[in-house]
Amino acid sequence: MNLYIQPEYEVVRDESRCIACRVCERQCANLVHSFDAETGKMKSDSTLCVNCHRCVCVCPTHALKIVKSDDTYKVNGNWSNQTINEVYRQANSGGVLLSSMGNPKEYPVFWDKMLINASQVTNPPIDPLREPMETKLWLGKRTAQVKRDKKGKLINTLAPQLELKAPILFSAMSYGSISYNAHESLARAAEELGIYYNTGEGGLHKDFYKYGKNTIVQVASGRFGVYKDYLDAAAAIEIKMGQGAKPGIGGHLPGTKISADVSETRMIPQGIDAISPAPHHDIYSIEDLRQLVYSLKEATDYKKPVIVKIAAVHNCAAIASGIARSGADIIAIDGYRGGTGAAPTRIRDNVGIPIELALAQVDERLREEGIRDEVSIIVGGSIRSSADLVKAIALGADACYIGTAALLALGCHLCRTCHEGKCNWGIATQRPDLVKRLNPDVGYKRLVNLVTAWNHELQEMMGGMGINSVEALRGNRLMLRGIGLTDTELSVLGIKYAGQSM
């Protein structure tokens, strides 16, 4: 018996505005809308709706809206409708619940409990429209030594660096989990912005090798698509040890999303689920990690920085210390709100810790141990705005990964059903008729707009603080004050409470 479950959201059509043009019907991959020729009216079936808002956006007369259903079980403070429905779904199917995108639960958002400083009287603010305001930065080891050759000329001992025009990178999203057109949009935007996008663990499509100087390639536990040309093409190599959305488990790409093209790029069979192992089977210690870091450096002639990406977990400060000593150039930390194309719901919603706390602890630990300059730190896992970006940098990050925000710019409406592969926005799908809905000419421009806007806002906020370069903002925690935080939270974040002076 499959128990009927009332849909969480309902499609509401304003009959007085609907002109029955059937655009909603043609644009819904979930087949929610249909035309009744007998009555000449449109119908909709809310049980099929994933609330992606595609129909709402394309309706020329704005006749559609989607509302939360007011159908409810007997109200229960312990057993919410959702909790009950999840039990029903599992009793129906016997399966693990799957979800996509970041953790949507109402945990505290520490970004929203930090306030930024501004200059008044004694230290004047800077006007970024009239005075220089530097957002360019470099990622990599900063442990160069002053060495001279026999003629007294300086020898360059600086490790390879990544140059960014803004402290923002597009986070790892694989070809397979997202579409060809989404990747093309990210790659072209990264090139125009002078920043980087990340292939994720899905390999690099042959068409995108030309964007190599703005590409970070990932080496994950499945080693999909990894070979010499792949490593050579990139500006940097990222070893993915973990992902914020699902710490402790590997990636899972459903077979339905493995088209011929994805199969060729990943170097795996077509149509069969691609399941990455939870660990790297050759890494069980920092020493093992060091071997992989140096294998990759050796393979690429020590010309590219190596990033090690971990999920934010309880012991991440100690782990980061190990990574800094493993020879990696950059540490990427992904918070528990980070997105994914598919993850077990229980893991996504309950494993890992907030990126704000992890970042503060990692930065502090590395500074205490005197090895902060051994690595740069990139953080991700729900950087939602330039304000989050400023706060992250002030907490100690060098730069931020944005994934969800980038997808939103491409049209994503966070319906969180990427794992079904029927993305109506042409992002998280491989179905050709859906993929073509994302025209990269439009998509890349929107990404460029987003990052450009954030960079302007970053400059405005830095100017307000009287700071004229991101390098001077980094780790400047005196620019932050907590609000509504406990003493423990303040001490973990390493910031003072609002109202406390320098």
Binder of other proteins out of 83, 92, 439, 449 (CB under 8 A): 439
Number of residues interacting with other proteins: please give it, by CB under 8 A. Answer: 21
In the bound state with other proteins, the residue whose beta carbon lies nearer, of 403 and 443, is: 443
Contacts of 60 (CB under 8 A, 6+ apart): 19, 21, 23
CA distances 391 to 79, 109, 299, 406, 461, Å, are 36, 12, 37, 19, 10
The helix (H) or strand (E) run that includes residue 402 is strand 399-402
> Is position 286 an interface residue for other proteins (rule: CB under 8 A)?
no
In the bound state with other proteins, the residue whose beta carbon lies nearer, of 18 and 115, is: 18
State whether residue 470 is helix, strand or coil.
Answer: helix
Residue among 33, 36, 38 nearest 55 (CA): 33
CA distances 385 to 112, 160, 341, Å, are 11, 29, 21
CA distances 49 to 19, 26, 256, 435, Å, are 21, 14, 20, 19
Stretch that binds other proteins, among 21-29, 252-260, 366-374, 393-401 (CB under 8 A): 21-29
Q: Report the nearest approach of other proteins to the CB of residue 57 (Å).
A: 8
Phi, psi of 296 (to 5 degrees): -70, -40
Q: Report the nearest approach of other proteins to the CB of residue 22 (Å).
A: 7
Q: Report the nearest approach of other proteins to the CB of residue 203 (Å).
A: 24
Residue 148 to residue 291: CA distance in whole angstroms: 30
Apex CA 353: angle with CA 352 and CA 357, to 5°?
Answer: 155
Residue 160 to residue 426: CA distance in whole angstroms: 36
Q: Report the nearest approach of other proteins to the CB of residue 111 (Å).
A: 33
Binder of other proteins out of 5, 48, 56, 58 (CB under 8 A): 58
Give residues 188-217 in contact with other proteins (rule: CB under 8 A): none
Binder of other proteins out of 441, 478, 486, 500 (CB under 8 A): 441
Stretch that binds other proteins, among 54-62, 157-165, 195-203, 396-404 (CB under 8 A): 54-62
Give residues 22-41 in contact with other proteins (rule: CB under 8 A): 22-23, 26-27, 40
Binder of other proteins out of 437, 474, 477, 481 (CB under 8 A): 437
Residue 10 to residue 322: CA distance in whole angstroms: 50
Q: Report the nearest approach of other proteins to the CB of residue 16 (Å).
A: 7
> Is position 19 an interface residue for other proteins (rule: CB under 8 A)?
yes
> Is position 44 an interface residue for other proteins (rule: CB under 8 A)?
no
Q: Report the nearest approach of other proteins to the CB of residue 432 (Å).
A: 7
Residues at the contact surface with other proteins, assessed by CB under 8 A: 16-19, 21-23, 26-27, 40, 57-58, 60-61, 432-433, 436-437, 439, 441-442
